[in-house]
Amino acid sequence: MGILEKIADIEKEIARTQKNKATEYHLGLLKAKLAKFRQALMEGDAKSGAGKGEGFDVVKSGDARIALIGFPSVGKSTLLSTVTRTESTAASYEFTTLTCIPGVIQYNGAEIQLLDLPGIIEGAAQGKGRGRQVIAVARTADMVLMMLDATKGEKQREILEEELESVGIRLNRRKPDIYFKPKKTGGINITSTVPMTRCSEKMIQLILHEYKMFNAQVLFRDDYTSEDFIDVVVGRRVYMPCLYVYNKIDQVSIEEVDRLARLPNSVVISCNMKLNIDYMLESIWTLLNLIRVYTKKRGEKPDFEDGLIVRNGTTVEHVCRMVHRTLVDQFKYALAWGTSVKFSPQRVGLSHVLQNEDVICLMTDDENEPLLRDNGRQHTYTSLNSYITANANTTQSSSNTTFASGEKLLSGRYESLDYECDESEIAHMEEKRLGYQHTRRLVALKWLIMLLIGISTGLTAVFVDYTVKKLTKFKFSYVQNKLDYCLAEHCLFQPYLSWIGINMGMVLIAGFLILWEPVARGSGIPQVKCYLNGVAVPHVLRLKALVAKVLGVIFAVSGGLAVGKEGPMIHSGAIIAGGISQGKSSSLKIDFHIFKYFRTDKHKRDFVAAGAAAGVAAAFGAPVGGVLFALEEGASFFNQQLTWFIFFASMVSTFTLNVVLSAIEGHFGDLSSPGLINFGLFNDVPYMWFELPLFILVGFIGGIFGAMFNQLNLRLTKFRHHYINKRWLLVIELLLVAATTVYFDPGKYALFGAASQLGGTMRMTISLAVILIEATGDIVLGLPIMIVLTVAKLTGDYFNEGFFDIHIALQSVPFLPWESDAFASQLSALSIMSAPVIQIKTVEKVENIYCILRSESHHGFPVVDHHEDNIANQRSGTFQGIILRHQLITILRKRNFISFNDNLRDYLTVDDFRESYPRHPSIESVHLTNDERELYCDLRPYMNLAYTVSHRSTLPRIFAMFRGLGLRHLVVVNDKNEVVGMITRKDLARFRMKHKKGHTSIEELAISN
């Protein structure tokens, strides 16, 4: 008996066997045998060459291949001639086409190869007609276009599906997610991640035994049938999409056309009348899952007429291989614009998955030059998000943009702080419940907290100063004793080694402290400045940072390094203020249950500004200078009441320092030690009018040297990041600096020279002038100091940015300056926003919220009303408010759920959302049952009534609103109040005004992962 007869017998037995529990294993065994014989039949044809035929060997070309199959005389040749430029003979008799005729569909910039195959008949899989040759070609296609006659019902469709199914072509099905690996020993090991209701373990063993397999590892990741498992075992199955095209609809009733059109993966057409051809082409594009991506050179516009056609899910690595086969070896990174990235542009790697209409700029190791397909055309890139705005039918921006090089990046790891006022329903309910007396009580508590901040900062400064003096005294006395002894014994090398050893030991301790908490390095002023600007700098206000900062400064200064103990006091004061104002320590897990109302970013910001000012006051004995420092360099949001609070904290800080130091030095009450630094007294130092030009000259020199210092510091920092990147190298660096600078005495600077150098470096004018005046105690020197500082700032600004701003840029922090430049008015909201935006309905299913939080890292989501577009199945409601990520997680953790038709009765309170501040739990801490996932969340009481801007708004207007109101998210809406985009800090920070040598330009920075 031949294979065909065996297949026929098995098919007959399957047809006459009833399907029930008793025959389940028998049917499974029959199906396994049937698949085995069919596989043998196909392999036999391949060896004998029966699967090949003259006229069927067509080279695969284009972006995709489609196999056009169907019964004879259904209109395949007519369709080929209609959608391509290929002439295929069409006639009213069967078997007009006897060979494979290729054509090319030009659609959406893609070239899709369409193969017109001869008509197949029932039994084609067993060799009738030219069925085996047709099916062999179909297996090589990316998609099947099944041509059917609308006048003959669905019988043809069933026959063709059965013929393709019998040869291992699976239509409109995904490959089963089953892990199968034959082994040599160990037996059959079967596991599953879900309950197996459609294929038992016994059935799996019977199937494997039929294929003479007795050792294997099997893992079901979903509930699959025995047929699915057989496909995995056999292999050589082809899974591809299929579009059912019903032709000749002009010959049937309108009711029949409507019925056929509603069938899954089906379209209805008339080739003779050319009806619905465009919709068929659109359906082909969708089923092929093709997308377009564009490449560009740096500083040039991408060619939107010559995109790359790739499959959805394509990575940057695949695009590199399409551009040039060796590009992956030279690849350094890529800049991407579009919906696949959170920010545009964003720095991405080879594994980044691209989405439709993305723009990519490939950078290589060869001098960071981008590579792309050279089409001989050059453009100026004029639209930042033209691929988005074009889809939105909007006018593209005409602003010329200079794209950043590889080193000018914004880090995507920094998030924003939420300084916006809470206007939710539960916030209004709390205010109404607490009443006016609560507001007065809060003001009194603020004064108390400011008092505690001032006292604590002053005591910290005392501790630093006292400890440094004691350690320095110990060091000098020890070395002096050694020196006295060795003068007589002639062993001067001993005090020399002792001097170096003590210094290196103290510096080593300071170095280990910085390795323990890296955020404590440096003065900390740039980090505090960023925090007050609205950037959540990691660990900047942790107790660990305070310990490392204070002890590190003590040992660094005592070890003889050329550093001061004054600058780090600003960071220390900010940490102290941040901790006291919250009434708890998250690091120590201690909660004193006080000051709960101030556990928000908005209130904490004000206290941190006061702590920074108190640090300045303690360091320089200048309370007014501390206030002005907070105003000029620190706090981004000021009001009159906050000024009084900060001034009070500064006064208390310098007073505490004065009193305690006077007590330590044995003359309690003598307030002659206003700060940690003392310039001496300048009593009645006169100056003449003709000296004013000399003061200007001093300021000019200071500005030049300040700019030079910043440039050298920039290069040195890059050098250290590149070469000194090991921990042991950092320690050796510290030891070498301590050893080589031990004999260098910095001496004393003239007051004006010091002022010009500070002004040229820090670019501070008002606050630094007041600090110097308060520190010297001579108001007469006010005018020349102001002149020197002003000239130094103007001179330094001509060359580069200030010291703090340079280090902020080196850390890639999305820092926002005071205002945007007028030149940026050419950029609109559509040019800078991130789109599309994930939206949540006012009453949303718990499962949807949980999936969004698991898959997305965004911290804010627009809330829209209940309206849903049933045709496109997309959320298109009007904007209602915004809700934060930590609020959604709190709602899920508190199980604040309702059924769909219920009203929310048990509201969460504001304290429920504050209790975990500032370290909110992650979504991984939420565990929901299946029943809970089917419930709903009413977000209306918790969403904030956020600010919005029109999609026509310009960048200066957007910037002023965002910066002035301290926003974290700014929603962009259209004329119908529908959400079209979202603007965050990073979207604004990536556009920077570049001022250098009198020239101003807009530069756009990429955002790295």
3.40.50.2300, 3.50.50.60, 3.40.50.300, 3.40.50.970: which CATH number matches 64-170+241-286? 3.40.50.300
Q: Alpha-carbon distance 852 to 932, whole Å?
A: 16
Delimit the domains of the chain by residue range. Answer: 3-48+176-236, 64-170+241-286, 289-389, 434-664, 689-810, 822-1008
pLDDT of residue 576: 94
Given a cut of 70, whether residue 399 has pLDDT beyond it is no
Q: Return the CATH number of 289-389, one of 3.40.50.1000, 3.10.20.30, 3.40.50.1370, 3.60.15.10.
A: 3.10.20.30
Task: Kindly report which listed range (32-41, 64-73, 173-182, 674-683) carries the lowest average pLDDT score.
Answer: 674-683
Q: Please name the amino acid found at residue 415.
A: E
Q: Give the model confidence (pLDDT) of 808-827 as tens digits.
A: 877 788 888 777 765 567 77
The CA distance from 581 to 571, in Å, is 16
CA distance 99 to 55: 5
- Separation of alpha carbons 88 and 104, rounded Å: 13
- Determine the average pLDDT of the residues in 113-137: 68
- Quickly list H helices, 670-802: 692-723, 727-740, 751-762, 766-776, 782-799
Q: Note the Cα 387 to chain centre separation in Å.
A: 20
pLDDT of residue 462 exceeding 80: yes
3-state secondary structure (DSSP) of residue 957? helix
The burial of 553, by beta-carbon neighbours within 10 Å (0-12 exposed, 13-18 middle, 19 or more buried), is given as buried
The pLDDT score that the predictor gives to residue 471 is 92
Q: pLDDT higher for 529 or 903?
A: 529
- Residue 963 contacts residue 955 (beta carbons within 8 Å): no
| Average per-residue pLDDT for the chain | 80
Per-residue model confidence as pLDDT tens digits over 163-183 = 888 778 889 988 898 989 898
Task: State both tokens at 61.
Answer: 């070309």
Q: Which is more confident, 548 or 1006?
A: 548
Dihedral angle computed from the Cα positions of residues 536, 540, 544 and 545, in that order, rounded to the nearest 10 degrees: 170
Q: What angle do CA 833, 836, 837 make, to 5 degrees?
A: 90
pLDDT bucket at 25, cuts 50 / 70 / 90: low
Q: How many CB atoms lie within 10 A of CB 691?
A: 12
d(CA 521, CA 527) in angstroms, rounded, equals 10
* Higher per-residue pLDDT: 457 or 139: 457
| φ and ψ of 648, to 5 deg | -65, -45
Give me the residue label for tokens 């310039």: 679
Closest among 66, 96, 62, 57 to 78, alpha carbons compared: 96
Q: Of 811 and 537, which is predicted with more confidence?
A: 537
Alpha carbon 1009 to chain centroid distance? Answer: 6
Please report the pLDDT score of residue 950 as a whole number. 92
Taking 90 as the threshold, does the pLDDT of residue 405 lie above it?
no
- pLDDT confidence tier of residue 387, bands split at 50, 70 and 90: very low
Average pLDDT over residues 919-945: 88
Q: Which of 104, 123, 118, 112 is nearest to 76 (CA)?
A: 118
Query: Is residue 444's pLDDT more than 80?
Result: yes
Give the model's pLDDT for residue 633: 67
Q: What percent of the chain has pLDDT over 70?
A: 81
Lowest mean pLDDT, pick from 18-22, 439-443, 663-667: 18-22
How far is residue 516's CA from residue 43's CA, in Å, rounded to a whole number?
66
| Chain length of the chain | 1009
According to the per-residue pLDDT averaged within each range, which of 13-27, 430-444, 571-585, 790-804 is highest?
571-585
* DSSP code, position 20: S
Strands 979-984 and 969-973: antiparallel
Q: Which of 334-343, 842-851, 991-1000 has the highest mean pLDDT?
A: 842-851
Name which residue leads in pLDDT, 52 or 798.
798
- Give the whole-angstrom CA distance, residue 811 versus residue 814: 9
- Which has the higher per-residue pLDDT, 586 or 250? 250
Mean pLDDT within 764-791? 80
For 627-641, write each residue's pLDDT tens digit. Answer: 888 887 655 666 778
> Residue 66 and residue 83: Cα distance in Å, rounded?
13
Predicted confidence band of residue 368 (pLDDT cuts 50, 70, 90): very low
Instruction: Assess contact for 865 and 877: CB atoms under 8 A.
Output: yes
pLDDT value for 905: 66
pTM for this prediction? 0.56
Output b/e per residue, 777-807; b: 16+ Cβ within 10 A: ebeebeebbbbbbbbbbbbbbebbbbbbbbb
Strands 969-973 and 948-950: parallel
Is the pLDDT at 390 greater than 50? The verdict is no
Q: Is 129 helix (H, G, I), strand (E, B) or coil?
A: coil
- Any idea which residue has 């093709």 for tokens? 290
Q: According to the model, what pLDDT value does residue 824 have?
A: 67
pLDDT in tens, 308-319: 899 888 899 888
Lowest mean pLDDT of 5-9, 152-156, 495-499, name the range.
Answer: 5-9
Percent over 90 (pLDDT), the chain? 16
Residue 978: C-alpha distances to residues 154, 665, 848, 972 (Å): 44, 68, 20, 8
| More confident: 361 or 633 | 361
Burial (CB count <10 Å: 0-12, 13-18, 19+), residue 480: exposed
For 893-911, how does the pLDDT look when each residue is reduced to its tens digit (9 = 90+)? 988 888 876 766 678 888 8
CA angle 612, 616, 617 (to 5 degrees): 115
**Which tokens hold the place of 593?**
């249950």
- Choose between 901 and 398: higher pLDDT: 901
Measured distance CA(382)–CA(405) in Å, rounded: 17
At 2 the pLDDT is: 60
467-511 confidence digits (pLDDT tens): 999 999 999 999 888 888 887 777 878 888 888 899 999 999 999
pLDDT for the residue numbered 607: 92
Give the CATH fold of the 434-664 domain: Clc chloride channel (1.10.3080)
Cα gap 928→893, rounded to integer Å: 9
Q: What is the mean pLDDT of residues 736-763?
A: 70
As a three-state string, the secondary structure of 158-221 is HHHHHHHHHCCEEECCCCCCEEEEECCCCCEEEEECCCCCCCCHHHHHHHHHHCCCCCEEEEEC
Residue partners of 783: CB distance under 8 A and separation at least 6: none
- Predicted local distance difference test score (pLDDT) of residue 930: 85
Instruction: Please tell me the predicted confidence (pLDDT) of residue 997.
Output: 60
pLDDT tens digits, 967-1003: 889 999 988 888 988 998 888 887 776 666 666 666 6
Can you read off the two tokens belonging to residue 308? 């790359």
Q: Which residue has the tokens 């030690």?
A: 673
Whether the predicted pLDDT of 605 surpasses 80: yes
Specify the residue for token string 């940072």: 545
Q: In the structure, what pLDDT confidence band is assigned to residue 864 with cuts at 50, 70 and 90?
A: very high
Is it the case that residue 944 has pLDDT exceeding 70? yes
Tokens of 906: 């048990």
160-177: b (≥16 Cβ within 10 Å) or e: bbebbebbbbbbeeeebe
Measured distance CA(606)–CA(447) in Å, rounded = 12
| Token pair 């500083």 in the structure block, residue | 299
Residue 41 token pair: 């039949």
| Domain 822-1008 of CATH type 3.10.580.10 | yes
